[in-house]
Amino acid sequence: MPTIAQRLREVTQRLEAACRRRGRDPRSVLILAATKTRSPEELLAALAAGIRHFGENYVQELLAKREAIDKAGYTNVSWHMIGHLQRNKVKYLVPGVALIHSLDSVALAEEIEKRAARAGVRQPVLLEVNLAAEATKSGVSPQELPGLAERVLELPHLDLQGLMAMPPYSEDPEDSRPHFRTLRALADSLRDRGIPTENLRHLSMGMSGDYEVAIEEGATIIRLGTVLFGPRG
């Protein structure tokens, strides 16, 4: 079995090659380790290999692993929430997470605003878009996206930084390409409506099976689990 460090080297080479194909700077793509079900020991191995950004799907798991990593003495680690977020869990995450990728409703935005205001912070967020209208997935519809974006910009303790999406699962990474293009086009159309570029600077898209395609289509954050840690048990 390859180590996490070996896997990260392979990913980094593929990332750099995808950037070269598009004339992009490799430093414009952030590798986020998607760590659901992974143990604190696996996270420590990822830290030793140079990973500094972790994304969790469940609030309790994020809090538990953050505590374990804090105890191990790491201070420069960023925690991201990438799973569906319930309103009643926001109080455990704000303040304290670098980026919430899964903001998908006005009600959730208002709850994050309330908690961030109380803590005196501005909370970075991405809007999650449900590109293929999948009933099993969260995310705002493309039709509702502009209204949500405009509302979020009115909330002074939210710091909108872009969009996130997860295309329907497929074995073939090329199947994801049109969805990645759609997400990028949605960001462009928000820009055309007057949403500032700085609020659209991130596209969080691409996972183990399709991150190279995502980079070709403009991803700035790729969320990787299996390709870094091996199959989930």
Ligand X SMILES: *Cc1c(COP(=O)(O)O)cnc(C)c1O
Segment near ligand X (CB under 6 A), from 63-71, 87-95, 152-160, 223-231?
A: 223-231
Return the residue of 126, 186, 207, 219 that touches ligand X, per CB under 6 A.
207
Segment near ligand X (CB under 6 A), from 129-137, 145-153, 185-193, 219-227?
A: 219-227
CA distance 203 to 180: 9
Which residue lies nearer to ligand X by CB, 120 or 231?
231
Return the residue of 3, 78, 86, 226 that touches ligand X, per CB under 6 A.
226
The b/e string for 144-180 (b: 16+ C-beta within 10 A; e otherwise) is bbeebbeebeebebbbbbbbbbbbeeeeebeebbebb
Question: Rule CB under 6 A: which of 60-89 touch ligand X?
Answer: 82-83
Q: Check binding of 36 to ligand X (CB under 6 A).
A: yes
DSSP conformational letter for 166: -
* DSSP β-ladder status, 78-81 and 53-56: parallel
Q: Check binding of 213 to ligand X (CB under 6 A).
A: no
Q: Check binding of 223 to ligand X (CB under 6 A).
A: yes
* DSSP β-ladder status, 30-34 and 53-56: parallel
| Euclidean distance between the first and the last CA atom of the chain, given in angstroms as a whole number | 14
Binding site for ligand X (CB under 6 A): 34, 36, 57, 82-83, 166, 207-209, 223-227
